[in-house]
Amino acid sequence: MDDDPATEILEATYRALCRHGYADLTIKDIAAEADRSTASVHYYFDDKQTLFVEFLEYLYDRYTAQLAAIDGDTARDRLAALLETVLADDETGTGLEFRTAMLEVTAQAPYDDAIRARLAAFDDVLFDRIRAIIEDGIDRGEFDATVDPTVATEFLVTAVSGAYTRQVAMDRSPEQLRATMTRYVETRLLAE
């Protein structure tokens, strides 16, 4: 691997989180997943809390890059691609195990300022990306001019958050939720 050791440990944290969930996750689990000694993980990260905050920053960089890479000829295509990216249900980093662990992390946010600040950053970058697409769609006459970009964006960001919760906690199909949101875009945002 070309990655530096700290990045390898963060990548191993991802796999360990999916395997063990957040509450039970230990530095030992992460070390095992990274094929390293616990001491060598501690060399890079003092404790689980420090490692985990770094891990959220690593995820944030990845998420920001994913959102920036979304492309399409029209605003409608870009919004559909974005919804597919954030609601995909596959092994590229957004599977059920990962979302299950992230819901545990989210439930810890009210008790942990560092986690809350990082989760709010994910929320902000998604908000900004969606609003930019909607504003562009309105400017180009592709989306209905009566759409308020901030309101539509807030609604979509909130629904994405709810889609994760309903998938993880209530076994709702993320594919169906994605179809519902795409249909909202098709029928409620597009100009007639």
Binding residues for a copy of itself, per CB under 8 A? 21, 100, 103-104, 106-107, 109-111, 116, 119-120, 123, 146, 148, 151, 154-155, 157-166, 168-172, 176-177, 180-181, 183-184, 187-188
For 37, which DSSP code?
-
Nearer to a copy of itself, 37 or 150 (CB): 150
Nearer to a copy of itself, 17 or 34 (CB): 17
Nearest approach in angstroms of CB 46 to a copy of itself is 23
Q: List C-alpha distances in Å: 79 to 89, 119, 157.
A: 17, 22, 12
Nearest approach in angstroms of CB 143 to a copy of itself is 13
Q: What is the rounded distance in angstroms from the CA atom of residue 7 to the CA atom of residue 36? A: 13
Nearest approach in angstroms of CB 1 to a copy of itself is 31
Q: What is the rounded distance in angstroms from the CA atom of residue 189 to the CA atom of residue 181? A: 11
Contacts of 140 (CB under 8 A, 6+ apart): 74, 75
Nearer to a copy of itself, 49 or 180 (CB): 180
How crowded is the C-beta side of 165, counted as CA atoms within 13 Å? 9
